[in-house]
Structure 1
């Protein structure tokens, strides 16, 4: 079994093998995947998310992406998080939603990985992410 970011992302698809083959064959940079199967997504405003990412330990953080304008920074988190997480300006995607993700090994202008998935399955730890967001918010004053 492969242990790559692409393989790991594809596991969220209804038919992982077909999805992965199609993504590789077509050369598409972006593909929709269902959230809430292997991970949820928390998207925070970029001016908070970028400094929070800087607080997280690079050895333990999970996948993180951003949109082309850097308006939002999105953290892949454990399944079920989106139903419980409450925060001003935070958007979430969980069960029943789809999110467009960039190929982990190809460049994309619309959405790009700040921390690509490495195939390990590691997600962002909620306690550490919350602490990083608080620290980042404290540094911003009233954001």
Structure 2
């Protein structure tokens, strides 16, 4: 039986060790917009291309991070959901994936899906920042 190397995040990396390119099926991590925007800022301040394509809904209630397929099977971050798409209806072009949404960071401006391990850390840091800010009021 042949096995495929994978990271602790549960996805098969590209030959260079990073998350797969988002040109096929991706899973979608959905978070409240405030936490998601903080996480995007944290990821963009980090080293390299840490954040992949990100969707927001028209009501600006949620943000969705494209992550490698297989992420949903092990996703356990409180306050967020990860949806397994299996590529159903997904084509990464400038048009949003979901009706009633738009790109915050569209494909083409970013090359890789967001690494779920890095996203998990950024969401945790974002939650702590929001809690600290709310407690200072």
TM-score tier (shorter): 0.5 to 0.7
Q: Counterpart of 1:41?
A: 28
Q: Assess, with a 3 A threshold, how the Cα gap between structure 1 residues 84 and 62 changes in structure 2: closer, same or farther.
A: same
Report if the CA contact (8 A) 2:26-2:85 is conserved: no
Partner of residue 53 from structure 1, selected from 40, 45, 48: 40
**Could you list the runs of 4 or more consecutive aligned residues of structure 1 that deviate by over 4 angstroms after TM superposition?**
95-103
State the SS of the aligned residue for 1:82: helix
Unaligned segments of structure 2, at least 5 residues: 1-20
Question: Residues 101 and 138 of structure 1: is their aligned pair in 2 closer, same or farther, counting only changes over 3 Å?
Answer: farther
Measure the CA separation in 2 of the matches of 1:90 and 1:101: 23
- CA shift, 1:100, in A, is 7.4
Query: Could you say if the C-alpha distance between residues 64 and 43 of structure 1 is closer, same or farther in structure 2, counting changes exceeding 3 Å?
Result: same
TM-score, structure 2 normalization = 0.64
Q: Work out whether residues 28 and 85 of structure 2, in 8 Å CA contact, stay in contact via their aligned partners in 1.
A: no
C-alpha spacing 1:99/1:134, structure 2 compared with 1 (3 Å): farther
Deviation of the 1:127 alpha carbon: 2.0
- Report what 2:121 is aligned to: 131
Are the equivalent residues in 2 in contact too, given 1:45–1:71 (CA < 8 A)? yes
Structure 1, unpaired ranges of 5+: 1-7, 13-37
Shift of 1:57: 2.2
Q: TM-score, normalised by structure 1?
A: 0.62
